[in-house]
Amino acid sequence: MMKRGTIITDKLVIWLIVFGCIVLLLIVAGLISGKLGAIGELIKTWLRFG
């Protein structure tokens, strides 16, 4: 039980890190191109909520 919980936690951490990197890339791309500015703002608002 404990080992499975640890494995699940590790997977969640990895997914959170990957998701965080993707979000950062989207924000940077939005700032550079300007076309994804609205999406970047939505992500920032969501991050403030979270």
Q: Is 22 in contact with 5 (CB distance < 8 Å)?
A: no
Q: Between helices 37-49 and 2-33, what is the axis angle to 10°?
A: 140
Q: Which of 24, 18, 19, 49 lies closest to 39 in space, CA to CA?
A: 24
Instruction: Give pLDDT tens digits along the chain (50 positions).
Output: 556 667 778 889 999 999 999 999 988 877 777 765 677 788 888 888 86
Task: Give the start-end residues of each E strand in the chain.
Answer: none
Q: Name the pTM for this structure.
A: 0.47
Domain boundaries, the chain: 18-50
pLDDT of residue 18: 95
pLDDT of residue 2: 59
Place of tokens 């994804």: 36
pLDDT of residue 24: 92
Rounded Cα distance between 26 and 48, Å, is: 16
